């Protein structure tokens, strides 16, 4: 049944692979392999910004992977969210490998409001929802906790250097009022589709840490000291893809 439906829909709404453009499929086998057949690994941009949590990526941001992410985010190929969610789920598993009680709490990094309006959808949140579903199907308790929001406008990041991106985003995110309690009782994993300089994840980690600290203080808890490599114990990050150089730096 699926076959004849694809035949008819292909006549009405032409379908092409989001990675290479091959006709009559939203994602060909070769491009799916590029996205899903790489073991998720830790990635670090160079230079690595202070405050960056440990980040794991599922794939290298180049060629087919780059095309698939852009097709989903910029060209509205929403059917690709499922396979991108599978890739992100692999990175989440690698990031949250330390056993811990409670569910995995996937916190999407929000895009600028104007970008979401222009695209007509929130790419990171859509992929996070697909990843949470994939994790649950494999027996891992996971949920999306979309608590982050922009507290002020930011400039377009395109063309900005790494230090300029950090300055542009500093203080731009916050956990929406009353939502800090949603970050308790599980392992917080910041999630996004792509990491370049790491500036967005640094700011997301800062905002989440602030909310978690306030929540612990209100409950009479004590602050937990930071440990090397983590913005805060328990807060890690996972992305679908990262630059080739961020993978290379971890091979040395």
pLDDT in tens, 127-155: 999 999 999 999 999 999 999 998 887 87
Least confident window among 57-61, 86-90, 94-98: 94-98
What is the DSSP code string of 87-101? Answer: HHHHHHHHHT-S--S
Higher pLDDT, 252 or 69: 69
Rounded to 5 degrees, φ, ψ at 190 are -70, 135
Q: Are 172 and 152 in contact (CB under 8 A)?
A: yes
Q: Are 61 and 244 in contact (CB under 8 A)?
A: yes
pLDDT in tens, 97-134: 755 668 999 999 998 777 777 777 788 999 999 999 99
DSSP letter assigned to residue 159:
T
pTM for this prediction: 0.83
User: Average pLDDT in the 6-21 region?
Assistant: 59
Checking if the pLDDT of 221 tops 50, the result is: no
Rounded to 5 degrees, φ, ψ at 58 are -85, -30
């Amino acid at each position: 049944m699926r076959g004849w439906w694809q035949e008819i829909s292909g006549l009405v709404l032409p379908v092409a692979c989001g990675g290479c453009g091959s006709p009559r499929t939203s994602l060909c086998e070769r491009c799916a392999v590029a996205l899903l057949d790489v073991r998720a690994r830790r990635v670090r941009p160079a230079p690595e910004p202070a405050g960056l949590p440990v980040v794991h990526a599922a794939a290298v941001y180049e060629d087919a992977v780059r095309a698939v992410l852009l097709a989903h985010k910029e060209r509205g190929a929403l059917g690709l969210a499922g396979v991108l969610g599978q890739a992100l789920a692999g990175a989440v598993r690698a990031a949250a490998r330390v056993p811990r009680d409670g569910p995995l709490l996937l916190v999407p990094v929000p895009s600028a409001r104007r970008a979401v309006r222009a695209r007509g959808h929130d790419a990171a949140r859509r992929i996070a929802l697909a990843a949470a579903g994939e994790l649950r199907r494999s027996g891992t308790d996971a949920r999306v906790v979309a608590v982050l929001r922009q507290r002020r406008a930011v400039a377009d990041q395109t063309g900005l250097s790494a230090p300029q991106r950090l300055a542009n985003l500093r203080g731009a995110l916050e956990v929406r009022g009353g939502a800090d309690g949603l970050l308790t009782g599980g392992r917080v994993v910041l999630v996004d589709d792509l990491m370049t300089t790491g500036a967005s994840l640094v700011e997301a980690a800062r905002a989440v840490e602030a909310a978690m600290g306030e929540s612990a203080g209100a409950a009479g808890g004590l602050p937990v000291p930071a440990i090397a490599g983590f913005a805060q114990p328990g807060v890690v990050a996972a992305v679908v893809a990262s630059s080739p150089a961020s993978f290379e730096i971890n091979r040395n």
